[in-house]
Amino acid sequence: MASRLTGNRHVLGWIQALPLTVVLVGFLIAPIAMIVAVSFWGATEFSIYPAFQFDNYEFLFSSPVTYRVFGATLKYALITWALTLVIGFTVAYFLAFHVRSLTMQIALFLICTIPFWTSNIIRMISWIPFLGRNGIANQTLISWGVIDEPLEWLLYSDFSVILAFVHLYTLFMVVPIFNTMMRIDKSLLEAARDNGASGFQTLVHVIIPLTKPGIMIGTIFVVTLVMGDFITVRFMSGSQRANVGRLISNDIGLLQYPSAAATAVVLLCTVLIVIATLLRFVNIRKEL
């Protein structure tokens, strides 16, 4: 009887795990397996054919363009990460420690999410009339007499790309950091003060160490989003800058699926290596 029961429970467990397994296999494992498989296929100008060859990777790793584009992608990720971290940490700190009432915290937090009520693309495009050659920013600066000529680097430049990234993704940094900060026992801050720590010392020795898991989760969000992005770079650079996402999208546009798949695999590996490195530094398990 007992063995039948445990046997049943065993089967029951598998049945309960089945829906998630199906979803994960169907929508995560299978597509990735497909991409990996296609990355070894061959291609000519007008056809692609199943094969197992390393031509795509060989071409990718021998081309200086690849390194430049991966370099640019990492540069975008790094700069965006640094800016979103500073802004996100500051906003979260303000919300968690300066705003006293919970109602106010929730209200301000919801205000932070307002930009998310419109789509990414609209939020990006709305920068263009602002930053353009005769846009609001340039006109205002000229009317104030700060500059004589319109600034050319405001739009269709690294500046505008990173600006859009920061605008789009800062909230992904705010949310996990805010969440971690809210879990910090307020009496720890009093204890630090009682032990003679200044505000800055409390920040460095208590708040930042205890906020690390949140920072790490936010970092993973921002880094993966920026590294996988292609549309922001295309719109905000006026197609003058490239990142890995654009490399892939160009290949797809030219129906070079094997080459696109190979680039995607290399990008995936790069992102995974970055995340694995980050996770070695901070244990995020207790946050999950």
Partner 1 sequence: MRTGYDLELVHLTKRYGDTLAVRDLNHVFVKGSYVCLLGPSGCGKSSTLRMIAGHEDVSEGSIVLDGQEVSNLPPAQRGTAMMFQNYALFPHLSVRDNVAFSLRMKGVDKAARHARAGELLELVDMTHLADRLPAQLSGGQQQRVALARALVTQPKVLLLDEPLSALDPFLRIRMRTELKKLQRELGITFIHVTHGQDEALALADEIVVMNNAVIEQAGPARAVWASPRTEFVARFIGGHNVLALSGGKATVRADAVTLAEQGLPATVLAVEYQGASVAVTSKLETGDEVLALLPEDQFFKAPKSPGDAVRLAWDDRRLHRLEA
Binding residues vs partner 1 (CB under 8 A): 185, 187-188, 190-198, 201, 205-206, 209-210
**CB closer to partner 1, 149 vs 185:** 185
**CB closer to partner 1, 45 vs 185:** 185
Nearest approach in angstroms of CB 215 to partner 1 is 13
Nearest approach in angstroms of CB 189 to partner 1 is 9
Taking the C-alpha atoms of residue 288 and residue 286, their distance in angstroms, rounded to an integer, is 6
- The DSSP result for 217-240, as a single string, is HHHHHHHHHHHH--HHHHHHTTT-
**CB closer to partner 1, 101 vs 187:** 187
Nearest approach in angstroms of CB 172 to partner 1 is 24
Place of tokens 């205002």: 140
- The DSSP result for 105-173, as a single string, is HHHHHHHHTGGGGS-HHHHHHTHHHHHSTTSHHHHHHHHHTS-SS--STTSSSHHHHHHHHHHHHHHHH
Nearest approach in angstroms of CB 81 to partner 1 is 23
Q: What are residue 49's DSSP bridge partners? A: 42
**CB closer to partner 1, 45 vs 194:** 194
Nearest approach in angstroms of CB 183 to partner 1 is 10
Nearest approach in angstroms of CB 201 to partner 1 is 5
Would you call 50 helix, strand, or coil by DSSP? coil
**CB closer to partner 1, 123 vs 193:** 193
**CB closer to partner 1, 63 vs 195:** 195
Name residue 102's amino acid.
L
Q: How crowded is the C-beta side of 82, counted as CA atoms within 13 Å?
A: 6
Among residues 64, 59, 30, 34, the alpha carbon closest in space to that of 251 is found at 59
Nearest approach in angstroms of CB 204 to partner 1 is 10
In sequence order, the 6+-apart residues with CB closer than 8 A to the CB of 135 are: 128, 129, 154, 155
| Per-state percent for the chain, helix, strand, coil, to nearest 5 | 75, 0, 20
**CB closer to partner 1, 49 vs 281:** 281
